[in-house]
């Protein structure tokens, strides 16, 4: 009888986990849970990050100045270009000399034949400020970059980014003059022609500025507040990343389509919403031959495309917000999603208001700057979800 009791007691002991076994199981479970390591930021990285942020801020201002220059029709007032910059007219004689140069080109002959020297001063100053600000960006980038490079503040990856940004800044200046030259060419023969820069070159100039801004801002964020990993379920993780990148891409594409709207003055064609005149799809959308020309040269088609792209962007931002609003996400990620959602609707409202009020300069400038703000929030969101991890269901 006693032997049977001893056997049963031994079996019970085997079935009950020992303290060591408990400890082993707990350690294994802990190892399986992803740990978040907070990155430490050195003083040199903070300095470089602030510099990148300063570059992106100056590019942001340059885009705004470029928009005002375009809206006030000042971009063709300076008919020469020098790498080191043009000398600002100081005397009345200097102003008359610059005005005489301007009078030799199509914009004066076909559009501003009644312009006075005093009126010319305004448009000249607008273009002069825009050009000099661009050169200031070059100086603000080049001098600290040389210093930081010499001091060893850049890692190998950052060096590549710096070289790319420097190249883009230089090319952006050349692209700006290449764009202006298209409006100075003697290709406006008909009295009804409106002298303007090529919408293709304008879109390229704006796209290059957006790329430059995006790269410098992304570098600034990676240095000042590095992204941290977090974990969500597999299906939801796909929704976050996929929708985020799609939204960011649509923001960029919509902004570039806006350059075609500006280049063709397409915002003055159909000043109604949601319909274009009395119809949803205007009859004159495909009047150019060959048909593909309408996409980038027909003001009606260009405005229609911009509307569709804008609506698509707002829809994606809204879908992103709806998909993630009940998910357990880090606070910074939630803030970024909310910012994208709110700014997308704000930007759409600005666009419609600008259209309905026949493109006033203040509203149109706010609308163009708003596209860059929205892109900033989309870049911030992409930064926050960069190291997103997911667990299978």
User: Which residue, 277, 106, 87, 297, is CA-closest to 186?
Assistant: 106
pLDDT digits (tens, 9 = 90+) for 300-343: 999 999 999 999 999 999 999 999 988 888 999 999 999 999 99
Dump the DSSP string for 32-85. Answer: HSPPPPPPP--HHHHHHHHHHHHHHHHHHHHHHHHHHHHHTT-TTS-----TT-
- Give strand pairing partners of 233: 391
pLDDT digits (tens, 9 = 90+) for 186-219: 887 666 678 899 999 999 999 999 999 999 999 9
Q: Which two tokens stand for residue 106?
A: 């199509």
**pLDDT, tens digit, 9 for 90 and up, residues 348-382:** 999 999 999 999 999 999 999 999 999 999 999 99
pLDDT of residue 102: 95
Residues 6+ apart with CB under 8 A from 232: 240, 327, 328, 329, 388, 390, 391
Compute the C-alpha angle 377/72/94, nearest 5°.
125
Residues 73/361, Cβ–Cβ less than 8 Å: no
> Cβ–Cβ contacts within 10 Å for residue 43, how many?
8
Q: What is the radius of gyration, based on Cα positions, of the chain? A: 29
Identify the residue whose tokens are 């100086």: 139
Alpha carbon separation from 2 to 8, 10, 11, 86, 146 (Å, rounded): 10, 12, 14, 109, 89
The predicted-structure confidence for 51-107, as pLDDT tens digits, reads as follows 999 999 999 999 999 999 999 999 999 999 988 888 899 999 999 999 999 999 999
Q: What pLDDT is recorded for position 390?
A: 72
Q: Average pLDDT of 2-14? A: 53
Instruction: Indicate if the pLDDT at residue 230 is higher than 60.
Output: yes
* Range with the largest mean pLDDT of 30-34, 35-39, 79-83, 358-362: 358-362
Q: What is the pLDDT at residue 3?
A: 54
- Model's pTM, two decimal places? 0.87
Do 183 and 197 touch, CB atoms closer than 8 A? yes
């Amino acid at each position: 009888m006693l032997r049977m009791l001893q056997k049963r007691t031994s079996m019970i002991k085997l079935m009950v986990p020992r303290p060591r076994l408990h400890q082993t199981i707990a350690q294994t479970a802990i190892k399986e849970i992803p740990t978040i390591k907070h990155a430490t930021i050195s003083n040199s990285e903070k300095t470089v990050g602030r510099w990148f942020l300063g570059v992106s801020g100056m590019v942001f201002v340059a885009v705004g100045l470029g928009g005002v220059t375009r809206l006030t029709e000042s971009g063709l007032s300076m008919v020469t270009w020098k790498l080191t910059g043009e000398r600002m007219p100081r005397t009345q004689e200097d102003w008359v000399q610059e005005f005489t140069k301007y009078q030799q080109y199509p914009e004066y002959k076909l559009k501003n034949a009644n312009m006075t020297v005093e009126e010319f001063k305004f448009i000249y100053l607008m273009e002069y400020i825009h050009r000099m600000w661009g050169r200031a960006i070059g100086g603000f980038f080049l001098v600290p970059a040389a210093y930081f490079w010499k001091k060893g503040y850049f890692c190998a990856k950052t060096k590549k980014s710096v070289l790319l940004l420097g190249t883009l800044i230089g090319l952006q200046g050349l692209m700006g003059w290449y764009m202006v030259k298209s409006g100075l060419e003697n290709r406006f023969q008909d009295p009804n022609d409106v002298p303007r820069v090529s919408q293709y070159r304008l879109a390229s100039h704006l796209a290059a500025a957006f790329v430059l801004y995006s790269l410098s801002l992304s570098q600034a964020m990676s240095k000042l507040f590095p992204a941290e990993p977090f974990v969500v379920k597999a299906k939801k993780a796909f929704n976050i990343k996929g929708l985020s990148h799609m939204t960011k891409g649509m923001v960029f594409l919509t902004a570039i389509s806006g350059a075609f709207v500006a280049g063709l003055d397409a915002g003055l064609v159909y000043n109604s919403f949601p319909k274009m005149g009395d119809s949803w799809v205007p009859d004159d959308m495909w009047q150019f031959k060959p048909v593909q020309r309408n996409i980038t040269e027909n003001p009606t088609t260009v405005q229609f495309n911009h509307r569709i792209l804008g609506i698509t962007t707002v829809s994606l931002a809204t879908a992103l917000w709806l998909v993630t609003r009940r998910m357990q996400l880090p606070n910074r990620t939630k803030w970024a999603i909310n910012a994208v959602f709110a700014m997308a609707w704000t930007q759409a409202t600005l666009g419609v208001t600008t259209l309905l009020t026949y493109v006033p300069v203040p509203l149109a400038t706010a609308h163009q700057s708003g596209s860059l703000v929205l892109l900033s929030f989309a870049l911030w969101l992409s930064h926050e979800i960069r190291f997103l991890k997911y667990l299978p269901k």
